[in-house]
């Protein structure tokens, strides 16, 4: 599973979010590290809405509690794109 997360991070650093997303969805199970990797991938590459979408899927659909790393990634996405209200919503969680 950690190999998959490493691949997501590598593709994200290269700006190849299509392959990062493919690896994420191809994983038989996803843990906190894989969720953080895909959220961070979209956050760092200027796709805040995709980062937020994955955050919501992780928390609402999968029932996974976010870590401080998760919050840093999603708040970074919000701050870099001017999504102040969304960022405040996440801070209140």
What is residue 92's predicted lDDT score, i.e. its pLDDT?
73
Q: Give the mean pLDDT of the chain.
A: 90
- The domain limits of the chain are 3-91
| pLDDT for residue 76 is more than 80 | yes
Question: What's the CA gap between 62 and 23, in Å, rounded?
Answer: 18
Question: pLDDT (tens digit, 9 = 90+) per residue, 13-44?
Answer: 999 999 999 999 999 999 999 999 999 999 99
In our burial notation (b when 16+ CB lie closer than 10 A, e otherwise), range 39-61 reads bbbbbbbebbebbbebbeebbee
| pLDDT for residue 88 is more than 80 | no
Structural tokens at position 33: 């590290």
28 DSSP 8-state letter: S
* DSSP-derived secondary structure for 54-90: HHHIIIIIS-PPP-HHHHHHHHHHHHHTT-HHHHHHH
């Amino acid at each position: 599973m950690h190999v998959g997360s490493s691949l997501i991070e590598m593709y994200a650093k290269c700006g190849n979010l299509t392959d990062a997303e493919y690896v994420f969805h191809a994983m038989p199970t996803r843990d906190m590290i894989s969720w953080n990797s895909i959220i961070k991938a979209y956050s760092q590459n200027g796709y805040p809405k995709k980062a937020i979408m994955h955050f919501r899927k992780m928390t609402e659909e999968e029932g996974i509690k976010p870590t401080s790393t998760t919050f840093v990634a999603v708040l970074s996405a919000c701050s870099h794109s001017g999504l102040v209200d969304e960022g405040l919503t996440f801070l209140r969680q």
